Amino acid sequence: MKRYLPYLAGVTMSLIFGFSFLFSKAALETLSTFELLFLRFTTATVTMSLLILFGVVNVNLKGKNLKPLILVAFWQPIIYFIMETKGLQYTTSSEAGVMMAFIPVLVAILAAFLLQENPSKLQWVFIIISVIGVIIIVLGGGNLETKGQLKGIVFLLSAVFSAAMFNIYSRKASQNFTPYETTYFMMILGMIVFGLLYLIQGIVMGDINILAKINTKVLISIFYLGVLSSVFAFLLVNYSLSKLPASQSSVFANLTTVVSVIAGITIRHESFELYKLFGAIMIIIGVWGTNYFGILKNKNLGG
């Protein structure tokens, strides 16, 4: 049973991340990009600090070389969330979720070069199947020329690259840091960087009264994004990355895609066409195949 815990962690974090796009879209109706990110990571930092204070998790960064964690946090949350949040301003939540399914392709390629983790031929087949599903969803409607959408896609592709680099560096950092230590450092650095960007933006725009913008919808969104999505889900991500090859763990991003598409359709009433259903099915097949044959590969290697 213990062998399957990393996969259970991957599925759970995919569900949480899949719904996170809805809450980000809702908060962005009231807050700016940096206001949202500052509140999100401040909430996350406070939450993790309380967990540490009450002994729920253990974090000890004293005397350790923090350079690996700085590289992890640079790619995610800093670069990733700036790009993702900007992308959400120009696209739908389901489109944002779909773009995240490109992550496994970049991770598989980068991991082969940087981590010497080479997926098997069968794993490559299922990765390609899932990517074809993404391409069908993205291009099936033929509406990339819509005003602003292409800009949003560029931002989201930048977020995908950042997420891929995060997977690689988090995998490396897991050799010297626990998932709790990695997650806590990410939250702290995110709070500091986004806090500075929020202040700079506020001073330039003459608007730093963030409290006046907080309402019930914003509070619910910040709780979900700060506690569930930033703390709990990232703990699951870093745990999964510490137990699985990066190319396998990142494939759960495809499941996030399916969740975000379904949530966007049912909750935000975003458009739904048959090609999206077909693409989603291919993504699910890709997620299953990549991980199933990854388990078999590890067994054959004595893992």
Boundaries of every domain in the chain: 2-300
Distance from chain centroid for Cα 81: 9
Site of tokens 């939250």: 187
Residue pLDDT, tens place only, 245-272: 766 666 676 678 778 888 888 888 887 6
pTM: 0.80
* Contact criterion met (CB below 8 Å) for 265 and 94: yes
**What is the average pLDDT score of the chain?**
84
21, two tokens: 């796009």
* Residue 100 DSSP class: G
Residue pLDDT, tens place only, 54-106: 998 899 988 889 999 999 999 999 999 999 999 988 888 877 877 777 777 77
pLDDT above 70 covers a percentage of the chain that reads 90
Q: How far is CA 266 from CA 19, 87, 102, 252, 257, in A?
A: 11, 21, 23, 22, 14
CB neighbours of 83 closer than 8 A, spacing ≥ 6? 155, 156, 158, 159, 162
Burial class (CB in 10 A: 0-12, 13-18, 19+), 49: middle
* Contact criterion met (CB below 8 Å) for 139 and 63: no
* Residue 213 DSSP class: G
Q: Taking the CB of residue 300, how many other CB atoms lie within 10 A of it?
A: 9
**Averaged pLDDT for residues 169-180:** 86
**Averaged pLDDT for residues 208-221:** 91
CB neighbours of 275 closer than 8 A, spacing ≥ 6? 136, 137, 140, 141
Instruction: Find the length of the chain.
Output: 303
CB neighbours of 276 closer than 8 A, spacing ≥ 6? 94, 136, 137, 140, 261
